Chain A
Amino acid sequence: MNRRENLRIYGSYGALSAALLFLLSVNVFCGSVRLTPGEILSQLVGSGEQDMAWSIIWLIRLPRLLGAALLGGALAVSGFLLQTFFANPIAGPFVLGISSGAKLSVSLVMLVLWGRGIFFSSGGMILAAFLGAVVSMGFILLISTRVRRMSVLVLCGVMIGYICSAVTDLLMAFADDANIANLHNWALGSFSGMSWEGLRAAFLAVAPTLFFAFLLSKPIGAYQLGELYARSMGVNTRRLRTELILLSSILSACVTAFAGPVSFVGIAVPHLVKRLLKTAQPVYIIPACALGGAVFCLFCDLIARTLLAPTELSIGSVTAVFGAPIVIFLMLRQGRDEHV
């Protein structure tokens, strides 16, 4: 590792952190109700009265933007882990149908339990999402033992997504009106439902998972040379594969539990981050993915909230606009490489 590469990597970290700070503050000010820095400052030092502005910032915007940052990072790292597992840059929790499985499972829980007046804690939602994620992951793994072609797996993932959506729609038809409004928003994908309580639960699930993923940097790096070589260098590949699957399922389940399906972040961000850092070494890429995912989702959420304010776009539509072209680009590049 020479000096120029180091400079590039740490410079990129600096740029990502600066972008994160910038977007965090912009997200505080912008929205249906515009606030000036002065107003916010007066709120913070407590000189103003505890009015609506305070509620907007403290109860709505802060948990939302922190949630977008945290979950965005989780999605990006989840994507990176799946890409390592499948040795393919087109793997991600959304395209493989893992998010959809989590979504179906969460809507089931919501409708069945809410219908009976039982309300679930955020932790319970994460658990429900995790179970759904693991079930669809199991499907994809089963298929991947038969076909190794990523395009087929992605197609299966999309199909799983459709099936899950169909079942979710069916369930919604049976639900009563009060529930639907809630569920409908969530099912489209949005960070609007974040509360401090939810944020805390998400943080408790995501932060240790991200840390654990970071600790796996070394074996993940070896795994980038393929399973055979990794094993011959002393990596317990069976354990690593299980860890990759579990960690990425936990991460994408958390996102789905709170924000619904968010598309393409898991593929777009790792790709962009690798280009930015000009390396694929997991020690550098995993933290950079967490940062980059946060920046990406904050940016997309900002657009979702402000573009047609006061109407909100779903976060998935915005991430798709930026993410899908990158996925198409990667597929084209891969198709070309396979024919060389």
Chain B
Amino acid sequence: MCEAFVYTDHMTVGYRGRPVVKEAEITIKRGEILTLIGPNGAGKSTLLKSMAGQLALLYGAVYLDGKSVSAMQETELARQVSAVFTDRIRPELMTCFQVAAAGRYPYTGRFGRLSEADMRIVEEALKTVGAGELAERDFMQLSDGQKQRVLLARALCQEPELLLLDEPTSYLDIRHKLEILNVLQRLAREKRLAVILTLHELELAKRISDRIVCVRDGRIDCIGSPEEIVSSGCIGELYGLSRKEYGHVPFMCPELARPVGKPEVFVMGGGGFGISAYRRLQRENVPFAAGILWENDLDYPSACALAAEVVAVPAFETVPEETFLRAKRLMSTCRQFWLCLPRFGELNVRNKELYEAAVRQGLIVTKTFLF
């Protein structure tokens, strides 16, 4: 506990006396990245705003470097904690440099004049986020991705030790999402900033976070490293998705609703080749069967989520006769056979036999090797 840079003690947050998240215990070390995830309206932003000192706590306390945040002067707090919020700002006639320079507020004098040193810090911050060349541009003319970078630069100008970001990747395309996260990772590593952010994208949370905090139903559901969170299976619970829906490997591929009915197509996949076929049939609302898959196959989670029936074998085992016959029976009830395997390996001989049987039985065979 003592090595934690920030920790909360029975923190209860909410609006107008109504608690949103109760009894939250969050700790973070310097140089660590902590991500809050959870469904919409779970209270992630409220937690973040409370830790930033924006909202008065309903109960408990937040400690920064051993000192209670509520006991700090506004300026003292602003020199240690800065934030990027989701609220869109519309500053009139302001260049990016001026927007970023606003972050020097807790350091400048009566009229906010920037010293030479302040200017250098602002330029440096813009460079750090890769917005150096935007300095003289009008802020309102920028794209969302550029704006987000400038707002991050503004937060850095406060020279914080704790950086809070509310959904910093929303509205950004995938390249800009990754760029922002790369900058955050660099800041945590090089400047030893403690970073707390909220994210909606689980895949990104898993990549960037040292630890993940799941917020659900007004409390903190579980905390742990991404690996712990993934294997504990609380992600599905978090979003109210059953294992069947979000796939066997948690976190990864949530699928749309399965087509219902008797299978019309038998899809032979494996090694990731099946997934696009499954999804195409889902879009066309055609019920299908999938097989024969090993349970550790890339295609398996999606097949479980989408296929009317799946014929599968435990990992690293040979296909038992009984399973093969079941697959063959299932195939005979279908009208079409989709072959997604570009070749059959030595260990995949049972699938090869199945394919040959399909050809003999006169099923309409489609070959599709799109990944």
Question: Which residues of chain A have a CB within 8 Å of any CB of chain B?
Answer: 1, 87, 89, 215, 217-218, 221-222, 224-226, 228-229, 231-236, 274, 278-281, 283, 337
Contact = CB atoms under 8 A, between A and B. Distances in A.
A218 B111 contact: yes
Nearest 5 Cβ contacts at the A-B interface = A234-B78, A233-B105, A218-B112, A234-B74, A234-B75
B154 to A, nearest CB: 8
B112 A234 contact: no
A1 to B, nearest CB: 8
B81 interface: yes
Given A232-B81, A233-B158, 4 more contacts: A215-B110, A221-B112, A232-B53, A232-B83
A280 B78 contact: no
Given A222-B105, A279-B93, A280-B94, A233 B78 contact: yes
Given A218-B112, A221-B102, A232 B93 contact: no
A222 B85 CA distance: 15
A232 B162 CA distance: 12
B contact face: mostly helix, strand, loop, or mixed? loop
A218 B109 CA distance: 9
Given A233-B102, A234-B74, A224 B91 contact: yes
Contacts of A234: 74-75, 77-79, 105-106
A226 B83 CA distance: 13
B78 A225 contact: no
B102 A232 contact: no
Contacts, number: 77
Interface centre among A217, A222, A224, A235 (most CB of B within 10 A): A224
B85 A228 contact: yes
B186 to A, nearest CB: 22
Nearest to A281: B98
A281 to B, nearest CB: 8
Nearest to A217: B111
B89 interface: yes
A252 B74 CA distance: 31
Given A225-B102, A233-B158, A217 B112 contact: yes
A217 B111 CA distance: 7
Contact of B89 (A229, A232, A233): A229
A277 B77 CA distance: 34
A225 B49 CA distance: 16
B92 interface: yes
B87 interface: yes
A207 B52 CA distance: 38
Contact of B92 (A215, A231, A232, A274): A274
Nearest to A225: B89
A217 B113 CA distance: 11
Contacts of A222: 102, 105
B250 to A, nearest CB: 34
Report the interface size class on chain B. Answer: 20 to 34
A231 B54 CA distance: 7
A225 B82 CA distance: 14
A228 B166 CA distance: 12
Contact of A225 (B74, B79, B81, B99): B99
Contacts of B91: 224-225, 280
Contacts of A280: 91-94
Interface string B101-118: 011011010111010000
6 contacts: A87-B90, A218-B105, A226-B89, A228-B54, A233-B103, A280-B92
Nearest to A271: B92
B91 to A, nearest CB: 5
Contact of B93 (A87, A215, A231, A274): A274
Contacts of B82: 232-233
A283 B74 CA distance: 22
A228 B88 CA distance: 11
Interface centre among A87, A224, A229 (most CB of B within 10 A): A229
Contacts of A217: 111-112
Contacts of A235: 74, 105
A92 to B, nearest CB: 16
A234 B78 CA distance: 5
Contacts of A225: 89, 91, 99, 102, 154
A289 to B, nearest CB: 14
A18 B91 CA distance: 30
Nearest to B160: A232
Nearest to B114: A1
B170 to A, nearest CB: 16
Nearest to B110: A218
A226 B87 contact: yes
Contacts of A1: 114
Interface in B57-90: 74-75, 77-79, 81-83, 85, 87, 89-90
Contact of A89 (B52, B79, B92): B92
A189 to B, nearest CB: 29
Nearest to A218: B112
B135 to A, nearest CB: 10
A232 B112 contact: no
Contacts of A226: 85, 87, 89
Nearest to A226: B89
Nearest to B109: A218
A231 B111 CA distance: 17
A228 B89 CA distance: 10
A33 B154 CA distance: 59
A217 B53 CA distance: 24
